[in-house]
Structure 1
Amino acid sequence: MKIATWNINSVRLRIDQVERLLTEQAPDVLCLQEIKVAEHLFPHEMFERLGYTHRAIHGQKGYHGVATVSKVPFRDFSRHDWQDNGEARHVGVELLGAGQGLILENVYIPAGGDVPDREVNPKFGQKLDFLERMTRWADRIDRPTLIVGDFNIAPLECDVYDHKALLKVVSHTPVEVETLQRFQDAHGWVDMGRTFIPAPERNYSWWSYRSYWRQKDQGRRLDHMWASPELAPQARAHHFVEETRRWEQPSDHVPLITEFAL
């Protein structure tokens, strides 16, 4: 089973790119973040045409939003408000049929603004609080689970193009890395990205629109796929689809795909 995740940065704007990815990579399940559309306006037709007949959408107008689309049957499992303000940032499903019993959690963690100080930047505090709520949730998980999405944190020194230069930049600050580590420890999550592409190998998933990314390669690994300890041994492959960043008007993120023998 191939499971993919992608911060698409507007599913309606980039619906043709989503179709191209599904056609070329043929994942069984695709988790999208930052769909930026309310549920009733989600572009169902293309997914239906390609056989992704099972869809769980948690959206809102213009911002945030997540969607999980699948060829494999599933049931809606959870929708947590880890932001504690009603924003659409999570949807969880339980796979049925092939992969039966696997819980697939799709999350879009807040970016956290520009200043890494909760006293002057409330968004940064909201990000840390979001992660703390996730950590309390992870401590109680008792099912094989895969959590995927845009975590908006590059945890390792080699997950950014310049560790020292980014230590005070939101997404790579020590407090964010430590907070994410507590979340990882709460369930013993196994990082698929670094299981198959070991540190310090280059493994970026995001490049800012503000830099000419192919020339400078100023990337960060902000997107992740983490598996429960009992699920991780069933993973067989993992890769990132960097060519999407070269497409016309691309998302600033690229997809990740993990293959499992379930």
Structure 2
Amino acid sequence: MSFTLATWNINSVRLRAALVSRLLTEEAPDILCLQECKSPVEKIPAETFHALGYTHMIARGQKGYNGVAILSKLPIEDAGDKDFASLGHARHVAGRLENGVTIHNFYVPAGGDVPDRERNVKFGQKLDYLTEMRDWFRAERPEKAILVGDLNIAPREDDVWSHKQLLKVVSHTPIEVEHLGQAQEAGDWVDVTRAHIPEGQLYSWWSYRSPNWDAADKGRRLDHIWATADIAGAAHSSRVLRAVRGWEQPSDHAPVFASFDL
């Protein structure tokens, strides 16, 4: 089975349904994983996506916040979800393809603005979420799996526009990078994007606060595609669709793609 998969923090699937439809029409990935849908499942415009050939949807949602969805042209069954850190948030959902590959779609908490769990409850929740991901991967030892999503951490120095200036900024602090690295190691996950694009600055998110995001280019790579080591070698053609960030009324994230021959 060969398929192309994409991940995109859409920042409201209902508000940006037309952008999702445009991506599905122009790029036609076999599977699109969305985060921050900000919608109850029953109000996701599934019929719109169904008409474009995405006849399968697995989702977890809540009103106004969080939310994850997997849209697929390929048959896929619901493989459950986990409430990491017991937050009661819709931040994870999994689907299983007919070839046995499990796709995990994550929306890791952003963590607020202050990188100190004593002063900022949200930062502590983020670290706890990552710790529980690590422990789950150690216990489950995932195989034939792909993990995608907005992990809200840019781990490498060249995943941010300025390593030095962002060391104390949430999403690139050493403690976050360490926690994400432990989760990745626990599941024997391979960072597919960086396996294919090993050198140079690479971003998937640019702040709405920047008046000219493209020229300023103060980005971060917050969106990821990982695969377990047993199938990572089957991945190819990774890319970030930077141009999508420039569409009208866009999300502040750009979609990330990878293809697999399994």
Partner Cα separation in structure 1 for residue 172 and residue 86 of structure 2: 23
Quote how far apart the aligned CAs of 1:235 are. Answer: 0.6
| Letter paired with 1:51 | G
State the match for 1:240 in structure 2. 240
State the match for 2:258 in structure 1. 258
Quote how far apart the aligned CAs of 1:74 are. Answer: 0.9
Quote how far apart the aligned CAs of 1:225 are. Answer: 0.3
| Letter paired with 2:129 | F
State the match for 1:205 in structure 2. 204
Q: Tell me, what secondary structure is at the counterpart of 2:93?
A: strand
Stretches of 4+ moved more than 6 A in 1?
A: none
Instruction: Note if 1:176 corresponds to 2:176.
Output: yes
Q: Tell me, what secondary structure is at the counterpart of 2:86?
A: coil
State the match for 2:121 in structure 1. 122
State the match for 2:15 in structure 1. 13
Number of matched pairs: 258
Partner Cα separation in structure 2 for residue 188 and residue 132 of structure 1: 15
State the match for 1:31 in structure 2. 33
Q: Tell me, what secondary structure is at the counterpart of 1:165?
A: helix
Q: Tell me, what secondary structure is at the counterpart of 2:209?
A: coil
Partner Cα separation in structure 2 for residue 170 and residue 257 of structure 1: 25
Partner Cα separation in structure 1 for residue 162 and residue 142 of structure 2: 38
Partner Cα separation in structure 2 for residue 141 and residue 78 of structure 1: 16
Q: Tell me, what secondary structure is at the counterpart of 2:258?
A: strand
Partner Cα separation in structure 2 for residue 83 and residue 160 of structure 1: 27
8 Å Cα contact 1:193/1:203 also seen in 2: no
Quote how far apart the aligned CAs of 1:138 are. Answer: 1.1
| 1:145-187 CA-partner distances (Å, limit 9, x unpaired) | 1000000000001100000000000000000001111011102
Partner Cα separation in structure 1 for residue 250 and residue 135 of structure 2: 35
| 1:114-164 CA-partner distances (Å, limit 9, x unpaired) | 000000001000000000000011112242110000000000011000000
Instruction: Note if 1:150 corresponds to 2:150.
Output: yes
Which runs of 5 or more residues in structure 2 are unaligned? none
Which runs of 5 or more residues in structure 1 are unaligned? none
Partner Cα separation in structure 2 for residue 258 and residue 42 of structure 1: 25
Residue in structure 2 matching 1:65, options 57, 60, 67:
67
| Letter paired with 2:230 | E
Quote how far apart the aligned CAs of 1:214 are. Answer: 1.1
State the match for 2:191 in structure 1. 191
| Letter paired with 1:132 | T
Matches within 5 A, 1:89-108: 89-96=91-98, 100-108=99-107
Partner Cα separation in structure 2 for residue 125 and residue 161 of structure 1: 25
Between 1:146-155 and 1:45-54, the stretch displaced more is: 45-54
